[in-house]
Amino acid sequence: MSPSSPSPAKPELVCPAGSLRALKLAVDAGADAVYLGLRNATNARNFAGLNFDEAQLREGIAYAHARGRQVLMALNTYARADAVPTWQQAVDAAAGLGADALIVGDIAVLAYAARTHPQLRLHLSVQASASSYEAIAFYRRHYGIQRAVLPRVLTLAQVGQVLRHTEVDIEVFGFGSLCVMVEGRCALSSYVTGQSPNNAGVCSPPAAVRWQESPQGVDARLSGVLIDRYAPDEPRGYPTLCKGRFEVNGRRDYAIEEPTSLNTLALLPELIALGVRAIKIEGRQRSPAYVEQVTRVWRQAIDAAVAAPERYQVEPAWTTTLAHLAEGQQHTLGAYDRPWR
Amino acid sequence: MEMTRTAPLRPAGPAEPDSRASLGSKYTDKEEGNDILTQNPDRIALNVGPLLYFWPRETLLHFYATVADSPADSVTLGEVVCERRRELRPADWLALARELRSAGKEVVLASQALIASEADLRLLRRVAEQDEFMVEAGDVSAVQLLSSAARRFVLGPHINVYSRAALQEYQRVGAARWVAPVELALQAVAEVNAGGAPLPTEVFAHGRLPLAFSARCFTARHHRLSKDHCEFRCRDDADGLLLSTSDGAPFLVLNGIQTQSAAQQCLIAEGAALRAAGVTRLRLSPVSQGFDTVIAQFEAVMNQGADAAAALQRLRELALPGGLANGFARGAAGMAWEAAAC
């Protein structure tokens, strides 16, 4: 950046809340905004025991607002043809309870929200797969979206290209699980289980997972399909199907993606300089303690990167905390920096 | 452009799609220089989907020469997977499109499914700016360019439409036909079309299913090559690179940045359910061997009253590793095969 250009705005830290407890801990640890969903298929983390009923939503919004923070409601699955009113009612509930914005992927839900609640702020969900500024312009023009969450497949240079050509605020993923496929356009899980993440809000659903002892070790199956086979002493991961080990031309390995997760702490000054307006932490399915610790690290990092970008460096203590939380998984910079390009 | 969220969406096309678009009616729309919207109401039209693999130029031209002589009604043409595959240049695709049109086929030019780089956008603009043929939008970037130019277009299978309300939004901005997402059950297609189809409906009826897209090229990764120096190794895999489970079951297929099913979806025995769901066109996805038989069998069953069970047996004999599947159509796991009621 040239010295005369205005210093870029401080990006918001947007943290996940799968429960009221996670919401409160995230707010207390310094989240600028918390995102959450209802207890049904209208959001993309539809797991048993997770998410908010109306009373919890009311309490969570009051808690955040009393401390000057925002609550963003994820309504980011696609309305099923036979159940569109369920998604419309979720929009109405969010508006009625005073959510600060809706995170929406389905054009049918966007249209309903824009027409029924024109005052309600709309964020384009990563599930809408808007991977170019032209796609973002479409949603801006027709539904007035004020922010877009970019798919995790873009490089840093491509993120910059989007930012130079859009007036819409841009949010990117900073930390958490990594989808190697473009979000919202992946039918792998429904190919195996019959449940579409786009409609049901869950990929590689726990109910379809079976662990079986076999002579070769332990098999992890998803609806009967062998996703991975572990030696008896090998650490085991959740069998998300794109992160399994398969055979191609007689060679068995992680043929689609290594089971890594995303950590962009090292890129933070660059993301801020590009003009990214919000950094999203993935993990509504994670524990409140996880959310609290990740939020605390990222609060410190963003504050440090904005206060003195030239002196910014990733603190060893941050790395230690985050590595501990990643449960043995390697962290990568994802597509932002692609050594495989 | 100023945001206009409270204003009604303006019709982007020269006219609002109107009653002409009701299911089974006979109508034409010559504005595109292409009578895409002409259809015999009793016929289930057969559309040759875009070639998803990277075939040598000669192989590709020979394939389309066979298509030209086939009973297929229409062809969707163009490279939709990877911007680096340039065996045919845009002008070559146009020349091929004209040849197929002279052979009596309706031709639609497809745009790439994943638009991420400026190079992707440049290619997209070239397709969107020509007005000789209608365009199939591969993503919402294409919808933005086409609707801004007041062009009508086909809504491709990788643009999410799960409800009638969603389809009507795209109809307002110029969609003239839609290809249902591959995972959408025929029951859901029927619900979208209940009370009269908003738009003519096409369904993916035969071939390995395009299931997912990534920025990363899995074929190059398998060969330990970087994407930008991939040596075009996907050219070795005429029907994609087979991926099997650790216990040896064919599962998926790597095709550059696209991941496909190993099983070929086959809806040849679903004629009644397809018609009941308001489907008027079937997409047959190119395969390296026996594609003429695929077209002939679908034509015989869907339009000539031939026995579906016998045709299914013929297609089974041609099937690639992974066999046949019809689960998505029946609201089950996509890889499942459920015996037809017929």
Work out the average pLDDT over B231-236: 96
CB–CB contact A112 B188 (8 Å): no
* List of residues 6+ apart from B326 with CB closer than 8 A: B265, B266, B267, B269, B270, B336, B337, B338, B340
Residues A70-102: pLDDT tens digits?
Answer: 999 999 999 999 999 999 999 999 999 999 999
Query: Contact at 8 Å (CB) between A26 and A290?
Result: no
CA dist list (Å): B151 to A122, A267, B206: 27, 41, 29
- The interface pTM score, or ipTM, of the predicted complex is 0.94
Q: For residue B338, count CB atoms less than 10 angstroms from its CB and return exposed for 0-12, middle for 13-18, buried for 19 or more.
A: middle
Find which of B121, B163, B243 to mutate to test the A interface (most A CBs within 10 Å of its CB).
B163
Residues facing B258 on adjacent strands: B213, B255
Backbone angles phi, psi at B115, to 5 degrees: -110, 110
pLDDT of B10 higher than 50 = no
The Cα A298–Cα A231 span in angstroms is 36
CA distances from B15 to B119, B151, B155, B175 (A): 33, 11, 18, 12
Around Cβ A334, how many Cβ atoms within 10 Å?
A: 24
Q: Which residues contact B53 (CB under 8 A, 6 or more apart)?
A: B234, B237, B238, B239, B240, B255, B286, B288
A329, B90, B108, B142 from B153: Cα distances, Å: 45, 19, 9, 9
- Structure confidence by residue, pLDDT tens digits, A289-300: 999 999 999 999
State the pLDDT confidence band at A214, using cuts at 50, 70 and 90: confident
Could you give the CA distance from residue A135 to residue B160 in angstroms, rounded to a whole number?
A: 13
Residues B310 and B296: beta-carbon distance below 8 Å: no
Report d(CA B32, CA B154) in Å as an integer.
12
* pLDDT, tens digit (0-9, with 9 covering 90-100), for B22-67: 333 333 343 443 445 556 778 999 999 999 999 999 999 999 999 9
Q: Selecting from 3.40.50.300, 1.10.150.240, 3.20.20.70, 3.40.1830.10, what CATH number does the domain A12-178+260-336 have?
A: 3.20.20.70
According to DSSP H, which parts of A262-336 are helical? 268-274, 288-307, 316-325
Mean pLDDT of chain A: 92
Average pLDDT, chain B: 89
Angstrom distance (rounded) from CA B298 to CA B295:
5
Q: B234 in contact with A at a CB cutoff of 8 Å? A: no
pLDDT tens, position by position, B189-199: 999 999 999 99
The Cα–Cα gap between B221 and B202 comes to 34
Q: What is the pLDDT of residue B3?
A: 36
pTM of the entire structure? 0.92
Task: Name the residue among A335, A296, A323 with its Cα closest to residue A29.
Answer: A296
Structure tokens at A325: 């939380």
Domain at B19-207+268-312: CATH code: 3.20.20.70
Q: Which residues of A touch B120 (CB under 8 A)?
A: 132
Q: Which two tokens stand for residue A48?
A: 């048993």
Which band of pLDDT confidence, cut at 50, 70 and 90, is reported for residue A7?
low
Q: What is the pLDDT of residue B15?
A: 35
The token pair at B88 is 């045919």
- A188 vs B259: CB contact, 8 Å cut-off? yes
Q: Is the pLDDT of residue A154 over 70?
A: yes
Which residue of chain A has the CA closest to B190?
A81
| The token pair that represents B198 in the structure block | 């908003």
The CA–CA distances, whole Å, from A4 to A1, A7, A8 equal 8, 9, 12
Give the nearest partner residue to A154 out of B6, B116, B331, using CB atoms: B116
Distance from CA of B18 to the nearest CA of A (A): 20
If pLDDT is split at 50, 70 and 90, which confidence band does A40 have?
confident
* pLDDT reported for residue A179: 86
Amino acid at B45: A
Domain ranges of chain B: 19-207+268-312
Q: How far from each other are the two terminal CA atoms of chain A, in whole angstroms?
A: 26
DSSP string, A112-153: HHHHH-TTS-EEE-GGG---SHHHHHHHHHHH---EEEPPTT
Q: What percent of chain B has pLDDT over 90?
A: 85
Average pLDDT over residues B186-215: 97
Q: What is the mean pLDDT of residues B281-304?
A: 98
Which chain B residue has the Cα nearest residue A121?
A: B5
A11 close to A279: Cβ distance less than 8 angstroms: yes
Q: What is the pLDDT of residue A336?
A: 76
Does B7 touch chain A if contact means CB atoms closer than 8 Å?
Answer: no
pLDDT digits (tens, 9 = 90+) for A231-277: 988 888 889 999 999 999 999 999 998 877 889 999 999 999 999 99
Indicate whether B341 pLDDT > 90.
no
Give me the residue spans of the domains in chain A: 12-178+260-336, 188-253
Angstrom CA distances, A144 to A151, A184, A333, B300, stand at 19, 21, 31, 49
Count the helix, strand and coil residues of chain A and give each as a percent rounded to the nearest 5: 40, 20, 40
